[in-house]
Amino acid sequence: MNECYYDKRMDFFYNRTKTDTADEWTGAQLIGVLCFGTFFCIFIFISNSLVIAAVVKNRRFHFPFYYLLANLAAADFFAGIAYVFLMFNTGPVSKTLTVNRWFLRQGLLDTSLTASLVNLLVIAVERHMSIMRMKIHSNLTKKRVTFLIISIWAIAIFMGAVPTLGWNCLCDITVCSSLAPIYSRSYLVFWSVLNLVVFFIMVVVYIRIYMYVQRKTNVLSSHTSGSISRRRTPVKLMKTVMTVLGAFVVCWTPGLVVLLLDGLNCTDCGIQNVKRWFLLLALLNSVMNPIIYSYKDDEMWATMKRMICCSSEDKSQERRSSRIPSTVLCRSTDTSGHYIEDGIIQGTICGKGDLGDKGNS
């Protein structure tokens, strides 16, 4: 019967696998890493909160696609929490962690990745349901979307907890990996291959859907007199989703490949030298997504700008209220519950004039 090592601290496993835990991270270098990570995590929290608030505030976003987009932003927000926890439990601190605290550190990262991945997969299904009917949005009810979102997080939490539930090497340290010294190599192979296969499937699905939309749009454009913006809306949404998916694949694939090599026990691959850079690349994915939303979706950008503008104007009004008569500084342009399918805002924001068009993508 194999001996189990649940009561050991992580230095036992790191020393056994000869894993570099960056003992040289001290002084100015450690402070620089923490400041760099803190800046990006704060940006992740603020920007993704704005995306979620925009979906809640703007009635034009009250459709399945945008609910799922908001949930993807929530996954990025959760990833920020995971990175904050990682920052203060990495480097030389790693060796002082208990097994349970190390499981928590990695479980948070795995949960955030799974939440984003499954959410993108659900968005692919939603887009397929809509596009094949040449509609902007699917007919999913709010109850079904809520059920899907709950299911996404249930799957993410479960996948993040799988090593804690038993698929680890605490009772058989001969199969421990190098990068994750209490994860078994078989689990790393399973985890990385599963995610890479899902990446490939989603890319193929989105390419096929996009080709179908382009072909169908070209056919319909010569037989219908509808507005160009109306016909281009499904294409614009697809471009937004494909850009998000592309960024996700680019940012996460190198790290997953490194995990796969570690799971295959590749001792000459130099994975220890690149692991931190690939983790940073994964962090940048949560930074990029809100930027993609605002750049690719004029309505999203305008709503976020309106919230920031109105917030600053409200503060200015409070400071001037004792000197000038109170006026209405911001008047919402969204006075009806009707959805404008071309997704372009008409009107002004906070009384400052026309926003202009950021251009169709």
> Which residue is associated with the tokens 């008047």?
331
Give the burial string for 129-149 (b: 16+ CB within 10 Å, else e): ebbeeeebbbebeeeebeebb
pLDDT at 172: 87
The domain that contains 72 carries what CATH number? 1.20.1070.10
Nearest CA among 155, 150, 167 for reference residue 103: 167
Segments of the chain with pLDDT less than 70:
1-2, 18-30, 132-138, 217, 220-235, 311-361
pLDDT at 305: 85
CB of 52 closer than 8 Å to CB of 13: no
Kindly state whether residue 335 falls inside one of the protein's structural domains. no
Token pair of 74 as six digits: 């929530």
pLDDT at 77: 94
Tens digits of per-residue pLDDT, 72-110? 999 999 999 999 998 888 877 888 899 999 999 999 999
Kindly state whether residue 226 falls inside one of the protein's structural domains. no
Mean pLDDT of the chain: 77
Kindly state whether residue 321 falls inside one of the protein's structural domains. no
pLDDT at 324: 39
Rg over alpha carbons for the chain, rounded to the nearest Å, is 24
User: What is residue 176's DSSP assignment?
Assistant: B
Which range marks the domain in which residue 85 is found?
A: 10-221+234-309
Query: Structurally, how many domains does the chain consist of?
Result: 1
Q: Where are the alpha helices (DSSP H) in the chain?
A: 10-17, 27-57, 64-87, 99-131, 142-165, 185-221, 228-263, 275-296, 298-320
Is the Cα torsion angle 29, 35, 36, 41 positive or negative in sign? positive
Q: Phi, psi at residue 184, to the nearest 5°?
A: -75, 150
pLDDT at 321: 43
For residue 308, the SS3 value is helix
Kindly state whether residue 329 falls inside one of the protein's structural domains. no
CA distance 53 to 303: 9
Kindly state whether residue 129 falls inside one of the protein's structural domains. yes
Kindly state whether residue 2 falls inside one of the protein's structural domains. no
> Which residue is associated with the tokens 């990570």?
37
pLDDT at 289: 84
176 forms bridges with which residues in the sheet?
Answer: 184
Nearest CA among 82, 89, 100 for reference residue 40: 82
Kindly state whether residue 356 falls inside one of the protein's structural domains. no
Kindly state whether residue 269 falls inside one of the protein's structural domains. yes
